[in-house]
Amino acid sequence: MQSLHKLNELRVPFIRDGITSRGNVDPKLINTTKVLKDQAILEVGCGGGILTEALARLNANVTGVDLGEDVIITAREHLEIHSPDLKNNVTYKIEPIEVHAKTKLNHYDAVVCSEVLEHIDDKAGFLTHCVNTLKPGGSIFITTMNKTIPLWIGGILLAENVFGIAPKNTHHWNKLASPLDVQRILSALGCQTVLTNGFTYNVCRRRWKWINSNVMCYALQAIKIE
């Protein structure tokens, strides 16, 4: 869990800068804590709301959906107790994306799938529903693991069985996807990938960092073509 909190140091600026680069925010709000004012964001697989609340702190209106009733209860409790000032900016729903998409077609300025895709069997079906909720010109942001031998050794074998960064059997090789695989799916859905950055976890410093290779993990932004 602590590693996900630390990951916010990379993914929040990545999402913030990706949205602002599209020119969809008030220029007066750039470099302020309200930079994402009036931006409607959907986080799919929001878990306990670690990223959801962080985006809401930039004044975005964030909806978090997840299949897990327990994690949504945790997210709502945390919001109520620790972040009551964000209650008007955050909505949590126990709902699969395919159900949510039926009533939210072309609705969101951005869709975020962070550390989720590596757990999905039908990635094309999942991403179809995500893209369907996105406005034309909006961005989908994905962070996930690459399907490489170095990732399997460092991100699964060592991380889960030696260092205990994640519980054993959290991740499985056959569910991983390369950036190219994801880009192909998104392209077929009418989305153009505009940015892919590699990142990894430094075990000694217990921090995530950007690297010049996507051999381990990657963050991707794609635009839904109008």
pLDDT of residue 169: 83
112 DSSP β-pair partners: 43, 141
Instruction: Give the closest residue to 49 by CA, choosing from 119, 1, 106.
Output: 1
105 DSSP β-pair partners: none
Global confidence as pTM: 0.95
For 181-207, how does the pLDDT look when each residue is reduced to its tens digit (9 = 90+)?
A: 999 999 999 999 999 999 999 888 889
- pLDDT > 70? residue 114: yes
Q: Please, what are the domains in the chain?
A: 2-224 (3.40.50.150)
